[in-house]
Amino acid sequence: MLFGRTPQLPTPEQALAGRTVPAFEVPDHHTVLGTPLLGPYPEGLEVADFGLGCFWGAERKFWQLPAGVHTTLVGYEGGYTENPTYEEVCSGLTGHTEAVRVVYDPAVISYDRLLKTFWESHDPTQGFRQGNDVGTQYRSAIYTHTPAQAAAAETSRAAYQKVLTASGLGTITTEILPAEGRAFYPAEPYHQQYLDKNPAGYCGIGGTGVSCPIGVAPADITPPRTPGN
């Protein structure tokens, strides 16, 4: 697609038109956690959206957290094309990035803990790529659902930038934008929990090796739950 050119986001006028209804159905339940993938979710739960490269490995980082994550699903976010397909997103003509939606219980796991996982699970300084994966769909992104999430995301970016700079790494390119007005479109069924279905499958996720200085609340340190509970 790129033929040696630097990836560029399309304008709304350049983006593919998409479709008014999804081209496929999303599975009912998470293959690891056993919970419903789509809402409405139980009262008291919150939603967080992250883009950190190929969503196969990114999703696994969040479902493997010890407790507090109700469900995860992968999809496309931050672009213009309605109900895109994977092939359309990979064309670079939708404006979307590969994203992970994390539905979590803030009484058990904090948003700061999710941010820590986000920052430490990829290299947020690489722009439109993660490792060997190159394209606008691999850009780093946080789409916030509340003012509190937005403030925490901005604070964490500033804190992580300090330690990355001290370690000789570059400038964070992560986009932090409100999720409102940026629809999350679930990806095809085979992408959901891909590395659970294909344990030896490709995972392009890798961090910088630099710890993110975000505190972990005591409530986050709880015994692992069994799948389906």
Give yes or no: 90 in active site. no
Contact (Cβ atoms closer than 8 angstroms) between residue 80 and residue 182: no
Tokens 């196969």 correspond to what residue? 56
- Taking CA 73 as the corner, what is the angle to CA 214 and CA 209, rounded to the nearest 5 degrees? 35
Instruction: Kindly state the tokens that stand for 117.
Output: 């996982």
- Helices (H) and strands (E) counted in the chain, each on its own, are 5, 8
In angstroms, the CA 140 to CA 171 distance is 12
Q: Which of 80, 92, 193 is nearest to 139 (CA)?
A: 92
- Give the distance between the most distant pair of CA atoms in the chain: 50
User: How far apart, in Å, are the Cα atoms of 162 and each of 59, 169, 172, 174, 180?
Assistant: 27, 10, 10, 15, 29
- Would you please indicate which residues are annotated as catalytic (active-site) residues? 54
